[in-house]
Amino acid sequence: MAAFVGEFASGVTTMVFNYLLLALVGNVAVAAYGVIANLALVGVAIFNGISGDGRHMHDRDFGRFITYEKTGYFIKS
């Protein structure tokens, strides 16, 4: 339900902003906003993918070995 409310509010906000741009500037401003908004969504999706899967890549071997920088040895935990 929380995700639905968030997506619905985002859609309503975008619609109101589009009507405001259309009234003040015209079709070109709405088209430019659409392009910029879609590029921003692609960027957010890329960073969400990196953060979601990067965590597993970094944490896979974390804790397998304990390193001691002074001696250079690895001690199996």
Instruction: Give the model's pLDDT for residue 10.
Output: 86
Distance CA 6, CA 14 (A): 12
Instruction: Give the model's pLDDT for residue 1.
Output: 83
pLDDT (tens digit per residue) in 20-73 = 999 999 999 999 999 998 999 899 889 888 877 766 666 655 555 555 555 555
pLDDT mean over 6-12: 89
User: How many other CB atoms sit within 10 Å of the CB of residue 29?
Assistant: 15
Where helices occur in the chain by DSSP H, the ranges are: 2-24, 27-59
Distance CA 77, CA 58 (A): 18
Distance CA 21, CA 14 (A): 10
Answer whether residue 77 shows pLDDT above 80.
no
Instruction: Give the model's pLDDT for residue 6.
Output: 86
